[in-house]
Every structure is written in structure tokens, then in C-alpha cells.
Chain A
Amino acid sequence: MLRNVVDYFQRLSSGFGQGWTRFWFTPSDPATLSAIRLCTGLVVVYLHATLLFDLIAFFGPNGMLPADEIAPLSGATFSYLNFLSQPAELWAVHLVGLAVLVMFAVGFWTRVTTVLALVVFLSDINRAPMITSLTEPIAAMVLLYLCLAPSGRYFSVDAWLARRKRPSVADPDAANRPSTFATIATRLIQVHLALLIAMMGFSKINSEVWWIGTGMWWLMARPESRLVDVTGLYRWPKLIDAWTHVIVLFELVFPLLVWVPLARPLLLGIGVFVWGSIALVTGDLTFALMMCIASLAYVSPSTLRACCQRSEPVAVPNAA
């Protein structure tokens, strides 16, 4: 009896170790991460660039959000913007930040600009978290994990430059070399996103309005936020109930079934509907966009490259 128990735990330990190694450390192709980099880059460029219009109004002299006054609400977080308040300084630093984000989006010096892009984006967020929305936590999470991976290997200026230099590249097979860092980054996005969506579901079932089917009503009834007015749906309360229940069910089921290859395409398709519908009624389009972009982490690189036939793998000297 005791021997069986010991055997069981030995098999458990061995199986867990092998599974852990297989899950995190089997090298893979960074094509999906490259696509995520491109899309996330465009979103963060948009967010950063639009902040330019109100930079002085928020952070300038006599701005609405003086760093020292709102410090108790921001917490002990780092932002280089905390040290700046003069318009010229703010403009200069913000434009440099914009240049970094554009370089990251187009994939130029990607390994360096990814880290710098994270610093720029987190500085924007940490300077005044009260003007952020749902989008920033998702974008920050994706940016953080992209720092680990060679996300400039495809869809990037780095790839284009490497293609031009191909004859001089010592190791032409480098382009096809799978990367362990790519696997770790992909897995981290997958696990983190699954956790977030699970908590979205759990927090909803903790709330009465999502139990009784009126959760979506309270989202669509907010006149200042919504993108389109769909309050006319009050005539079909069962439709609102169904919409609410589908979202809760999706958020509870997604973290479990997304790991099943057969269910994954279906869940990703439903996800587009769910995030799109939430964007429609909350008006937060960038949030829906970021959820869809982060969900790309569940799409295999071969599927992705099948959709982008013209993109060929090329050597990148600084790829992991």
C-alpha cells in the first residue's frame, strides 16, 4: 500500500516535471508574437499619440493632475513624467516616447525598443492611472511579455533589413530556428489572459446583476460611455438576459477549454463577438481590440502564416 502511494507521487512528480518542461521550454516559432507586436504597437502608438493633445492640460504647469497632489492616489509607482512639468520638457520627452513606440510597432531594433516601449507606456499609465481605461492593463501585460521574445523576426523592419543582408548572414538557418523565449512569452500571455478572463467571470457571478441577466443592461444604459445607443433592446428583455449569460458563460468556460485544440477556434470566434459587443456598449474599442490581439497568442504560427502567405521567415541577427 505504502509503496503504491510512493510510486504514485514519484509518477506525479516525474509527469509534472516533464509536462512543465514541455509546456514552457519547447522552442517555437515567434511568428505569432511578431503579429502581436505589430498590432499591440499600433494600439499603444494610438494611445500615446492621442495623449499629446492633452499633455499640458493634464501634466503641465497649472495642469489638472499635478504629480505631488495626486501622489496619494497613484501609489509608489515609477514614471519619468513625475519629474517633468514644463511644456517644453513634456513635449520633448513625449515625442521621443512616440518615436520609440513607432519603432517598436514597425519592428526596428526590436529587442531594444520593446523594453523601451514598455518603459514609455508604463510611465504614461503610472503618471495618472485615473485617466486610464480597460485597455492599458491588457496592453501593458502583452508589452511586458513581448520583452522576452524575438518578436521582430517577422512583420518588421528588422526582418526587411536582414533580408537585404541575407547573403552576408553567417547562419542562414537562424531564420528558422525556434526560440525557447518565444515559447515562454507565448505561454505567459496565454496563462495571464486565461487568468484575467477567469476572474472576469468570477467577479461577474459575484454580482447579482449578472446572475439575474441584467448585467448588459447596466452597461448599455450608461449614456456618457456607450458607442451606440442600444437601449431600445429593453423591449426584448430575454435578449438582454441571453447576452448577459453568454458573456458570463464564455468567461467561465474560456480559461478551461481554450487549451483543447478542437475547442480553441470556436472560443476565439465567440471571443470576437463577446469583446466586440462589450466595446459596442461601453465604447471602449481599444479594449476589445487588445483582447482580440492578446487572444492571438492561442493561434498557431503556421495558421497565422497561412493567412499571410507573402511573409517569409528571414534571419534577424539579434534574434534569440
Chain B
Amino acid sequence: MDDERQLTASENRVHQPIRMHRVPMNKTESSDGRGNHVTWSAEVRSAASLLLFIHLFAVIVAVTTYTQPSLLQRRLHELCDLYVRNLHLSAYPVTYPFARFHLTHANPTDVDFSCEMTIDSAGPDAAPIVIPPPGLQPLVRYRRYQALANATGTLAEDALDDGAAGILPRAIGGSILKRRDAAQGEFRVRAHYLPEIDDMATVESGDRAPLENYSNTYEAQVFVSGDKVEILRRSSTLEVAPAEGNAQPTNTPPTSSPPNTPPPQNR
């Protein structure tokens, strides 16, 4: 019973104002000035405090860099980059925009995307392969595919960075084609735009348009030749965009056109 009372008193210190401790101090124990009992020597506490300062500094930099970082914050983030990114403490800049709700910060532009792949050799009536596959269970699996589609769509929407926009479509499209032994197919990313709250009244009156506001944000032809995957993006201005193999990041192996690559078409 005494043991239990003593334990209860000590455990409450972290959560409540500190109380007096009756345990006699040994040679490494010291008082913090209020009669509270600490067991670490001053030297150990100093070293631990330094580590705590460094870690908390990195955490604060990582957390506060989430939205609209200043130049200073970016530089500081670069300083802590290896540490915070490997421990997944940071949402900036690689994880974002993948984890768009990392801090549950919703925007009207944070819409859900889906990816569709139509295999050319499957015929015109074949149903496209959709990501996320509908009805996937358990739910967390569906959410992973949804996150993948959202990452693909978010990057694909960024017209300024064509190289990054094509990374996931190339990987996903190439994977689907290879697994079905197909040579080429069409890859689309569709955004499901959200209805305004004021538009909802029309839904009840039979006009489903606000709920079915889909738009293709990315379309590309994917080709597979051996192990190589080539992707040709269709421009939103109905002109052919350059092959993304020319605009890819330097650490991605260069791709070359397969021998039977058809000439790009205007659509």
C-alpha cells in the first residue's frame, strides 16, 4: 500500500504541479530548488538538455515550415533536412503535396483524383483500369490507392514542372501495361471537383451536375518496350507536348522511344 502511494505521488509529477518527495537523495540525486527530486547529475542533465534543444529546434523548424515558409525557414529546413525527413517529422517539401491533409488543412482545390488506364490492345469496349479500385477492403488499402491517385493528380496539375508531373503516370502506367503484357495505353487523371454548398439545392431538384463535376487534368499515351517506359503527354492546349523523357530529373535513367512508337497525335 505504501509502495502504491509513493508511486502515485511520483507519477503525477509529469502531469500535475510537483509535490515534495520523501525519498532520501543518493550521491547523484539533486534538488531543482523546490525540493523536487531529480536523479540525474548536473552534467548528464546538461548533455540531455543540449540534445533536447537540438531536437526541438529541428521539430519546430519542420512543423512551422508546413505552410508558406519564409526564406529563413527554408534555409533552416535544409539544415535539418536529413534528420527530419528520415524520421518523417516534416511535410515539406517532398511529402507535400502528397499528404495534403497532413495538418487537416482543407482547401476547395484539394480535390480527389482518380487514375484511369485504357489498354489499346484490349479493344474499345474494355473497361479502363481505375485507381483507386472501387470497393477495396480493408478501407486503409483503398485510402493508399486514393493517396497515390491524389499525389499523381496534384503533381500532374502543376504545369510548371513537367518532369515531376510525369513520374507517377509513367510508373503507374508502365506497371499496368507490363503486368498485362501490353505495349501501349492511354493514361488519364481525373479530378472530381467539389460542389459549392450553395449548389447543393439543385442536386435535390434532379440536377446532378454539381456532384458529377469531373475533369481530365492529365492525359498521356504510355508505351512499353522491353523494360523501358515512354510517356507522351497531351497538352491542354491541344498541342503535343514534348516527350517527358527529355524533361525528366537528372537522377532518372534516360528513356528512349521504342522502335514502334507511333507519331504523336493531336486530339
The residue that A69 contacts in the complex, of B59, B101, B140, B252, with Cβ under 8 A, is B252
CB <8 Å contact, B7 and A313? yes
CA–CA, A214 and B132, complex, Å? 27
Given the known inter-chain contacts A50-B140, A221-B194, please indicate yes or no for A21 contacting B175, CB distance below 8 A: no
CA–CA, A29 and B148, complex, Å? 42
Q: Which residues of chain A in 219-263 are interfacial with respect to chain B, using CB atoms and an 8 Å cutoff?
A: 219, 221-225, 231, 234, 237, 240, 261
Given the known inter-chain contacts A70-B168, A218-B194, please indicate yes or no for A22 contacting B140, CB distance below 8 A: no
CB <8 Å contact, B194 and A300? no
The residue that B60 contacts in the complex, of A195, A221, A231, with Cβ under 8 A, is A195
Instruction: Give every chain A residue within 8 A of B86 (Cβ-Cβ).
Output: 77-78, 122, 126
- Produce 1/0 per residue, A186-208, CB < 8 A to B: 11100110011001101110110
Q: How many residues on B have C-beta within 8 angstroms of the other chain's C-beta atoms?
A: 96
- State how many angstroms separate the Cβ of A180 from the closest Cβ of chain B: 6
- State how many angstroms separate the Cβ of A149 from the closest Cβ of chain B: 11
CB <8 Å contact, B40 and A214? no
CB <8 Å contact, B140 and A25? no
Q: Does A28 contact B (CB under 8 A)?
A: yes
Instruction: Give every chain B residue within 8 A of A141 (Cβ-Cβ).
Output: 88-89
CA–CA, A72 and B55, complex, Å? 26
Q: Does A93 contact B (CB under 8 A)?
A: no
Kindly list 12 other residue pairs between chains A and B, CB separation below 8 angstroms, not including A50-B138, A137-B88: A69-B170, A73-B167, A129-B99, A133-B140, A136-B88, A136-B99, A140-B87, A176-B4, A178-B10, A180-B39, A207-B106, A225-B112
By a beta-carbon cutoff of 8 Å, the part of chain B in contact with chain A is 3-4, 6-8, 10-18, 32-34, 36-40, 45, 48-49, 52, 55-56, 59-60, 63-64, 66-68, 81-82, 85-89, 91, 94-95, 98-99, 101-108, 110-112, 114, 132, 138-141, 143-148, 151-152, 155, 163-164, 167-168, 170-172, 174-176, 178-179, 192, 194-195, 197, 200-201, 211, 249, 251-253
